[in-house]
Amino acid sequence: MNEANILTRGGKLLDQRLPAGWRQKLSPIRRPRGADADLRIVSPDGVEALLPVEVKGRVFPRDVPDLKRRVEGPDGRPGLVMTEFLTPSAKRRLVEEKLNYLDLTGNVRLVLSRPGLFIETDGATTDPNPIEKGGRSLRGAKAGRVVRALCDFAPPIAVSDLAIKAGVDISYASRLLDWLDREGLVTRKSRGPVEAVDRARMIRRWADDYSVLKSNDARSFLDPRGVSNLLRRLTTRRRRYAVTGSLAANRLAPIAPARLAMVYVDDPDDAAGELNLTATETGANVMLLTPFDEIAFERTRIDEGVTYVAPSQAAVDLLTSPGRSPAEGEAVLEWMARNPPS
């Protein structure tokens, strides 16, 4: 779809989203540099705002800094990006840069200080007309291993080294890296080595396609003596395990005492018997997880005799857990920013 069609359809969609009494007018402009159109918004009492508009067929997260330079006015007023479709990660990146957006599926965010206006609506979450058949995601074990390798090892990382560290074939690693580059999660030049990794954004993007309670086989148990008793028993366990969730967060960036223990094990029934746990549907204080992949047991950390998952695994598990866990996940991401891999 060409830019003129996107602009026309985007204007009609915006008319539908504006509150009663508000008006808008989109005016295409021809400049060698800068925005593609001006958007004039008029409130019911006649107060106007003028926003520069950039129109693109597709927007990838890595495009956002350049888009900001093109549409942001000298006074810092935010512009609007209009496109056919925005992925959740692209929307997050636009919000981080304080840019408004509209896509033709109905994803709209328009925030003005004068006249005061706030519109935010959700459209499609998957591209209705993908350029690449099947698209790309971070769903599945192979993608998880690549993400963990990129977050756990210090750059630079050659594609061949990444494939070895992640345990995937080099063609898969190369294809996924190309996609991660478009998503703005890694920095590399001309298909060369990975020079930098935005680990926090990488793990947040992984959390879009992963869920600790759905991607793994999770079962609920009760330790009548509490979480601290479970930790004491784990110090003498000979079979492999790895503690994740709030208990792992508390070793790195404590926020509050853990009320639920989450532990990766190979055999939940065997582990429950050894640890004197009782299966329960309500009142659980222990979750035993059969992992989605062996990566859950790799690059673990031992603290006071207890084995914990790698920080990158703890972070994504927490971001996809209920309750206060996402806040703990963000705290782990902050710890990771202060403690990069060496």
Residue 148 has pLDDT above 70, yes or no: yes
Domain membership of residue 136 (yes or no) is no
Percent of the chain with pLDDT over 90: 78
Contact 298, 273 (CB under 8 A): no
Point out the domain boundary residue: 89, 121, 153.
121
Same domain, 224 and 332: yes
Give how far the C-alpha of residue 101 lies from the chain's centroid of Cα atoms, to the nearest Å: 19
Residue 71 has pLDDT above 90, yes or no: no
Point out the domain boundary residue: 59, 88, 121.
121
CATH of the domain at 276: 3.30.460
Same domain, 115 and 32: yes
Domain membership of residue 77 (yes or no) is yes
Same domain, 20 and 40: yes
Which residue spans within 130-270 are E strands per DSSP? 186-188, 194-197, 217-222, 241-244, 261-265
Domain membership of residue 131 (yes or no) is no
Same domain, 271 and 319: yes
Give how far the C-alpha of residue 163 lies from the chain's centroid of Cα atoms, to the nearest Å: 22
Model-level pTM greater than 0.85? Answer: no
Percent of the chain with pLDDT over 70: 96
Contact 248, 264 (CB under 8 A): no
Comparing 333 with 70, which gets the higher pLDDT?
Answer: 333
Domain membership of residue 225 (yes or no) is yes
Write down the pLDDT at residue 135. Answer: 46
Same domain, 200 and 259: no
What's 296's DSSP letter?
G
Same domain, 205 and 288: no
Residue 132 has pLDDT above 60, yes or no: no
Distance CA 287, CA 131 (A): 40
Whole-angstrom CA distances from 132 to 83, 136, 179 are 17, 8, 11
CATH of the domain at 96: 3.40.1350
Same domain, 331 and 231: yes
Residue 133 has pLDDT above 50, yes or no: no
Domain membership of residue 133 (yes or no) is no
Domain membership of residue 126 (yes or no) is no
Q: Which of 319, 24, 25 is nearest to 199 (CA)?
A: 319
DSSP 102-113: EETTS-EEEEET
Distance CA 52, CA 10 (A): 14
Same domain, 73 and 165: no
Supply 176's token pair: 């996924």
Domain boundaries, position 204: 141-209
Contact 286, 220 (CB under 8 A): yes
Determine the 3-state secondary structure of 288 from DSSP: strand
